[in-house]
C-alpha cells in the first residue's frame, strides 16, 4: 500500500465576491486589502502536525499561483457558499496540476454531494476529524469522506496561527469564543452546523489568544466571530471581567465587535460589562418589524421586547448596532417595503444589511420548502447582489425583487444614511464612560490616513454637500464621537457604491435593449443605400454599440452580472449577426462597386477599428476579466471578421458566407 507523506501543505481561501459584507470600498481608505482574515484556516493550521510547513494563500489579498500549488504536497481549501464559484476554479486548477485536494468549511459541509474534483472531504468541525484524516492519509488508507458526528470540546482547541497571514493587509482581526446558538430561527444554518447548545472556551484560554494577538503588535479592531456571543450569558459574564482587566492593563489596544441577539438589551449587567470591555459594535439579526413574520420563522426572541427601544438602549451604552434585515418571508404584507424603510430610518442603524431570503441547505426552511415543492435551485450564498431567489415566494417575484431594490436605494441615499448616522452618534454620545484606546503612533497614522482619504475623496464626490454637513455637525457638536463619525462616513462610501451596483442591472438591461434597437434601425437605413460609405458606417456602428455597452457594463459589479448572462449572450449573438449581414451586403454589391476602392477604404479604417478592439481585449484580459464570458465571442471575433472581409474583397470566392 502506497503511503503519502506530507511536509508542505498549501491552504487556500477562495475569493469572496464584492458585497455589502466585503467592505471593499471602505477598507481601501486605510490601505487594506480585505476586511477579515480566514480564521477557520488559521485554526486548522494550529491543528496540523508541528513539523508541517504551511503556506496560506488568501485570494482576497493575493493571486493563487500555479507555483504555490506545485510546491505543495497537498492542498486544503475552506469555503463558504458565497465563495463556491472561486472554490470550484481552485479545485479545477489543482486537478489540472495533479495535486490532491482536501476541502472543508460551511459550503462543502452542506453541499458535498454536489461538488466534483475533490479527493477528500473533511467535514464538520475539524477538531474531531482532521487528526484521523492525516493519520490515514500518511498510511495510505484515507477515505473520501470524513464527517464529524459529535461536537468537539473547544476548550481543547489551540490558538489560531496568526503567523501564517500578513496582518497588515487586513482591516480587522478575528477571534472565536463560542460556537452555537440557543435560538431556533427557521432560516439559520448555524444551529445545523454548530448546534443549539453554545460551547465556549475557558476565560483563561480566550485571554491567552488575545495576548498572543497583542504580542504580534497588532492594534485595532477585533471581531469575535461567535454566532451569538451572549448565547450562554452566565459564562460570558465570567469572561467579560477578564477582558476588561486585559484591556485596562494595556490601554485598550483592541476595539471589539461581535454578533449578539437582541435580548442583550434586556440584561443591564451584561450590557454594561460589554461596554466596559471595549465593545463598540454588535451585529443583531432584526430581520423584520412584522411580528407575524417573526413568529412564523421561530424568532420569538424579537417579539418579547420593543425593537426600537432595545436598539436605542444598546446604542446609548456606546455600542453601535449593525442590523440584519430580510425580505421575502411568507407572512410579509404588501406594505413590507415601506415598513422596512420607515423602521430602519427610525432605528438609527447606519449599516442596515438588507437581503432577500435564501433557503440555505440543511436548514429548517429548506426542508419545509422541499416538502412544499417550492425549491428552485441551490442558494448562491449572496442574498444581496444576484437578485435570484432559490425558492418560490408567496409574493410575486418581480414585486419582491423590485421592492428589495427600492428599499436598498431608499435607505442608502446619502441624506437618509447620514440621518441614521446622526441618530446613532447622538445616542452613543450619551454614554460618558466609553473606553478610549491609548493613542499609539500606528493607530494615529491609520486614523489620519482614513480622515484625509475620507475628506478629499468624499467632499468632492456627488454627495459632497451631505458629507460636509455631517462632517461639520459632528466635529463641532459631538467631538467625543468624531472618530466614529469619520468611520461612518467611510463606510457610507462603500454602501453607496454597493447600492449603485445592486440597482444598476435594471437600467443596464433597458439601455442594452434600447441600443440594440437603435443599431437595428440604423442598420436597416444604411442597407437601403448603395454607397461604399454606408458599409464603413455599419462597421463603425457595430464597434460603437459594443463599446458603449461595455462602458455601461463596467459600472455593474462582478457579482451583479449573473442574471444578465442571457442578455449579454444575446448581445454577442446579435453582433455576430450584424457582421454576417455586412458580409452579405458586400457580396450583393460585388457587381455594382469597384472592389479596389472598397478594399482601399476598408484598409484605411481597419487600423482604427483594430486599435479599439485591441483595447477592449486588453481590458477584458486585465482590468475587467469578469465580462469576458459575455463578450468574448463579440470582441475576439471582431478582428477576424475584419480580416475576413478584407480577404473577401480581394477574392470573393475565398471565404464562405457565415450561417
- Look up cell 471581567; give the residue: 241
Short-list 40, 4, 37, 253, CA closest to 133:
4
pLDDT band for 656, please (50, 70, 90 cuts): very low
Q: Nearest 5°: phi and psi at 259?
A: -115, 140
Q: Cell digits for 359?
A: 433557503
Distances 265 to 161, 228, 274, 284, 344 between C-alpha atoms, Å: 34, 14, 11, 11, 18
Instruction: Quick: pLDDT tens for 94-134.
Output: 999 999 999 999 999 999 999 999 999 999 999 999 999 99
- Give the residue with greater pLDDT, 534 vs 137: 137
Interval 469-523: pLDDT, tens: 998 998 889 888 888 899 999 999 999 888 887 776 554 455 454 555 555 555 5
Write down the pLDDT at residue 504: 61
> Is the pLDDT confidence value at 623 over 60?
no
pLDDT for 557 equals 43
Between CA 539 and CA 521 the distance in angstroms is: 15
CB 285 within 8 A of CB 264: no
Q: Domain 171-428, what fold?
A: TIM Barrel (3.20.20)
- How many angstroms separate the CA atoms of 637 and 620, rounded? 14
The residue among 390 and 504 whose pLDDT is bigger is 390
The answer to whether residue 185 scores a pLDDT higher than 80 is yes
Q: Which stretch of 23-27, 463-467, 505-509 has the lowest confidence by average pLDDT?
A: 505-509
Region label for 473, one of left (φ > 0), alpha (ψ between -120 and 50) or beta (otherwise) = alpha
The DSSP code sequence of 263-285 is GGGG-HHHHHHHHHTTEEEEEEE
Q: Could you give the CA distance from residue 505 to residue 565 in angstroms, rounded to a whole number?
A: 11
Euclidean distance between the first and final Cα of the chain, in Å? 57
pLDDT tens-digit profile of 255-286?
A: 999 999 999 999 999 999 999 999 999 999 99
- Which of these, 495, 358, 347, lies nearest to 21 by C-alpha position? 495
Query: Contact at 8 Å (CB) between 107 and 87?
Result: yes
Instruction: Please provide the DSSP assignment of 316-376 as one string.
Output: TTT-EEEEEEEE--TT--TTHHHHHHHHHHHHT-SSEEEEE----TTSHHHHHHHHTT-B-
Enter the pTM of the model.
Answer: 0.78
pLDDT at residue 629 tops 50? no
Region 615-619: what's the mean pLDDT? 56
Q: Would you list the domain boundaries of the chain?
A: 8-147, 171-428, 529-650
Give me the residue label for grid cell 497614522: 445
Rounded distance between C-alpha atoms, residue 560 and residue 386, angstroms: 5
Question: C-alpha grid cell for residue 55?
Answer: 503556506
Q: How many residues does the chain have?
A: 659
* β-sheet with 220-224: strand ranges across: 172-175, 220-224, 254-259, 279-287, 320-327, 352-356
Task: Give the range with max mean pLDDT: 58-62, 398-402, 474-478, 616-620.
Answer: 58-62
Beta-ladder partners of 78: 104
Indicate the pLDDT class of residue 23, thresholds 50, 70 and 90: confident
Do 220 and 169 touch, CB atoms closer than 8 A? no
Write down the mean pLDDT value for the chain: 83
Residues in a beta bridge with 13: 58
Among 376-385, 440-449, 630-639, the minimum mean pLDDT is found in: 630-639
% of the chain surpassing 70 pLDDT: 74
Tell me what pLDDT residue 20 has. 79
The residues pairing with 355 across neighbouring beta strands, listed in sequence order, are: 326
Report the 3 state secondary structure along 637-653: HHHHHHHHHHHHHHCCC
Q: Is 280 left (phi over 0), alpha (psi -120 to 50) or beta?
A: alpha
Mean of pLDDT values over 240-254 = 97
Contact 41, 78 (CB under 8 A): yes
Show the cell assigned to 124.
Answer: 464538520
CA 570 – CA 105 distance, rounded (Å):
37
CATH number of 8-147: 3.40.50.280
* Closest-CA residue to 420 (of 470, 349, 475): 349
266 and 305 in contact (C-beta within 8 Å)? yes
Task: Determine which of 228-232, 350-354, 391-395, 448-452 has the lowest per-residue pLDDT on average.
Answer: 448-452
pLDDT of residue 598: 53
**What's the pLDDT band for 441 if we cut at 50, 70, 90?**
low
Question: Are 52 and 11 a contacting pair, CB within 8 Å?
Answer: no
Per-residue pLDDT at 327 exceeds 50: yes
Dist CA 642 CA 518 (whole Å): 22
Average pLDDT over residues 15-38: 87
How many C-beta atoms surround the C-beta of residue 391 within 10 A? 19
Contact assessment for residue 146 and residue 122, using Cβ atoms and an 8 Å cutoff: yes
Question: Contact 489/456 with Cβ under 8 angstroms?
Answer: no
Q: Name the E strands within 112-248.
A: 120-123, 145-147, 172-175, 178-179, 199-200, 220-224
Distance CA 137, CA 133 (A): 6
State mean pLDDT over 636-647.
52
CB 146 within 8 A of CB 132: yes
pLDDT at 318 over 90: yes
Q: Band of the pLDDT at 611, cuts 50, 70, 90?
A: low
Cell triple for 446 = 491609520
What is the rounded average pLDDT of the residues 605-614? 58
Residue 244, pLDDT score: 98
**Distance of alpha carbon 263 from alpha carbon 309, whole angstroms:** 12
Among residues 319, 161, 181, which one has the least CA distance to residue 240? Answer: 319
Q: Which residues contact 570 (CB under 8 A, 6 or more apart)?
A: none
206 vs 396, which has greater pLDDT?
Answer: 206
634 band by pLDDT with thresholds 50, 70 and 90:
very low
pLDDT confidence of residue 19: 80
The number of CA neighbours under 13 Å toward the Cβ of 91 is: 20
| More confident site: 137 or 384 | 137
Q: What is the pLDDT of residues 544-571, one digit of tens each?
A: 555 555 555 555 444 444 444 444 454 4
Amino acid at each position: 500500500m502506497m503511503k503519502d507523506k506530507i511536509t508542505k501543505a498549501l491552504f487556500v481561501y477562495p475569493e469572496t465576491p464584492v458585497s455589502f459584507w466585503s467592505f471593499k470600498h471602505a477598507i481601501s481608505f486605510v490601505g487594506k486589502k480585505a476586511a477579515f482574515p480566514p480564521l477557520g484556516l488559521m485554526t486548522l493550521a494550529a491543528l496540523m502536525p508541528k513539523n508541517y510547513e504551511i503556506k496560506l494563500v488568501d485570494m482576497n489579498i493575493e493571486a493563487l499561483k500555479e507555483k504555490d500549488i506545485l510546491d505543495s504536497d497537498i492542498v486544503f481549501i475552506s469555503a463558504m457558499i458565497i465563495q463556491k464559484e472561486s472554490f470550484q476554479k481552485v479545485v479545477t486548477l489543482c486537478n489540472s496540476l495533479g495535486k490532491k485536494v482536501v476541502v472543508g468549511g460551511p459550503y462543502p459541509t452542506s453541499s458535498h454531494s454536489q461538488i466534483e474534483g475533490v479527493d477528500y472531504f473533511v467535514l464538520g468541525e475539524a477538531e474531531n476529524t482532521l487528526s484521523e484524516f492525516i493519520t490515514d492519509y500518511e498510511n495510505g488508507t484515507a477515505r473520501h469522506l470524513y464527517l464529524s458526528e459529535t461536537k468537539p470540546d473547544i476548550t481543547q482547541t489551540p490558538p489560531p496561527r496568526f503567523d501564517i497571514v500578513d496582518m497588515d493587509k487586513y482591516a480587522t482581526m478575528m477571534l472565536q469564543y463560542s460556537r452555537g446558538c440557543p435560538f431556533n430561527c427557521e432560516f439559520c444554518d448555524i444551529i445545523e452546523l454548530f448546534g443549539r447548545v453554545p460551547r465556549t472556551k475557558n476565560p483563561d484560554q480566550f485571554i491567552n489568544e488575545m495576548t498572543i494577538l497583542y504580542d504580534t503588535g497588532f492594534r485595532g479592531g477585533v471581531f469575535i466571530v461567535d454566532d451569538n456571543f451572549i448565547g450562554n450569558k452566565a459564562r460570558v459574564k465570567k469572561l467579560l471581567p477578564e477582558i476588561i482587566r486585559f484591556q485596562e492593563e494595556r490601554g485598550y489596544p483592541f476595539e471589539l465587535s461581535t454578533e449578539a441577539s437582541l435580548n442583550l438589551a434586556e440584561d443591564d449587567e451584561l450590557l454594561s460589562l460589554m461596554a466596559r470591555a471595549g465593545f463598540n459594535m454588535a451585529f443583531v439579526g432584526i430581520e423584520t418589524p412584522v411580528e407575524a413574520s417573526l413568529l412564523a420563522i421561530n424568532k420569538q426572541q424579537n417579539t418579547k421586547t420593543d425593537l426600537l427601544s432595545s436598539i436605542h438602549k444598546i446604542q446609548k451604552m456606546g455600542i453601535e448596532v449593525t442590523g440584519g434585515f430580510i425580505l421575502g418571508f411568507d407572512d410579509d404584507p404588501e406594505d413590507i417595503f415601506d415598513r422596512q424603510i420607515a423602521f430602519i430610518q427610525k432605528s438609527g442603524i447606519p449599516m442596515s444589511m438588507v437581503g432577500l431570503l435564501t433557503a440555505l441547505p440543511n436548514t429548517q426552511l429548506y426542508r419545509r420548502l422541499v416538502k412544499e415543492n417550492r425549491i428552485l435551485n441551490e442558494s448562491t450564498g449572496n442574498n444581496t447582489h444576484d437578485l435570484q431567489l432559490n425558492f418560490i415566494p408567496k409574493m410575486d417575484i418581480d414585486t419582491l425583487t423590485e421592492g428589495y431594490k427600492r428599499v436598498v436605494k431608499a435607505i442608502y441615499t446619502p441624506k437618509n444614511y447620514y440621518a441614521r448616522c446622526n441618530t446613532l452618534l447622538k445616542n452613543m454620545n450619551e454614554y460618558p464612560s466609553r473606553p478610549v484606546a491609548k493613542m499609539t503612533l500606528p493607530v494615529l497614522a491609520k486614523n489620519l490616513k482614513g480622515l484625509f482619504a475620507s475628506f478629499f475623496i468624499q467632499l468632492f464626490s456627488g454627495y459632497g454637500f451631505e458629507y460636509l454637513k455631517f462632517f461639520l455637525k459632528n466635529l463641532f457638536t459631538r467631538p467625543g464621537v468624531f472618530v466614529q463619525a469619520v468611520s461612518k462616513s467611510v463606510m457610507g462610501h462603500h454602501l453607496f457604491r454597493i447600492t449603485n451596483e445592486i440597482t444598476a442591472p435594471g437600467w443596464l438591461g433597458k439601455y442594452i435593449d434600447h441600443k440594440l434597437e437603435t443599431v437595428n434601425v440604423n442598420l436597416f437605413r444604411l442597407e437601403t443605400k448603395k454607397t461604399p460609405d454606408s458599409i464603413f458606417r455599419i462597421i463603425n456602428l457595430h464597434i460603437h454599440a459594443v463599446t458603449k455597452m461595455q462602458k455601461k457594463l463596467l459600472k455593474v459589479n462582478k457579482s451583479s452580472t449573473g442574471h444578465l448572462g442571457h442578455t449579454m449572450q444575446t448581445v454577442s449573438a446579435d453582433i455576430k449577426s450584424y457582421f454576417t449581414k455586412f458580409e452579405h451586403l458586400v457580396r450583393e454589391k460585388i457587381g455594382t462597386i469597384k472592389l479596389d476602392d472598397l478594399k482601399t477604404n476598408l484598409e484605411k479604417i481597419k487600423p482604427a477599428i483594430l486599435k479599439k478592439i485591441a483595447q477592449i481585449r486588453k481590458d477584458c484580459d486585465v482590468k475587467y476579466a469578469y465580462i469576458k464570458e459575455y463578450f468574448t465571442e463579440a470582441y475576439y471575433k471582431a478582428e477576424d471578421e475584419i480580416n475576413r472581409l478584407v480577404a473577401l474583397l480581394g477574392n470573393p470566392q475565398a471565404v464562405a458566407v457565415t450561417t
